[in-house]
Amino acid sequence: MFTPQYRRESEERQLNAVYYSTLGEMLPRCDIVVVTCPLTPETRGLFGDDEFASMKPGAYIINIGRGKGVAKINSITAWF
C-alpha cells in the first residue's frame, strides 16, 4: 500500500500494490506506518488526532521525517 506523489501504475501491477488516494483510506488497513516526508506546508501536522484514531489497535507509527509532521505527544497517548 502506498500513496506516492507521482503514481506509477505499471509498478503497482508489477508489485501487486494497492493505491489509496488519501491517508484516511489507507491508515485503517496498516499494521506499520513509516513517515518519511520532508517538512513542508502540506506535511506540517500531517498526523493528528483524526489520523491516530483511524489506525487499528496495535498499529505502529515510525516517524523518520521531520518532527512537526506528526502531532504532539498528547495525540499519541490518546491513541492508546
Provide the grid cell at 76.
499519541
Q: Buried b / exposed e across 12-21, counting CB within 10 Å, b at 16+?
A: eeeeeeeeee
User: In angstroms, how far is the first alpha carbon of the chain from the final one?
Assistant: 24
With a threshold of 0.75, does the pTM exceed it?
A: no
Query: Does residue 43 fall inside a structural domain?
Result: yes
Domain extent at residue 50: 28-79
Query: Does residue 22 fall inside a structural domain?
Result: no
Query: Does residue 63 fall inside a structural domain?
Result: yes
Instruction: Output the pLDDT for position 51.
Output: 86
Provide the grid cell at 26.
489507507
Query: Does residue 13 fall inside a structural domain?
Result: no
Give the residue-averaged pLDDT of 56-74: 75
Query: Does residue 57 fall inside a structural domain?
Result: yes
What is the pLDDT of the chain when averaged over all its residues?
78
Tell me how far apart the alpha carbons of residues 77 and 33 are, in angstroms, rounded to a whole number. Answer: 17
Give the residue-averaged pLDDT of 8-14: 86
Contact yes or no for 31/55 (Cβ under 8 A): no
Query: Does residue 15 fall inside a structural domain?
Result: no
Please state the domain count of the chain: 1
Instruction: Output the pLDDT for position 5.
Output: 65
Query: Does residue 17 fall inside a structural domain?
Result: no
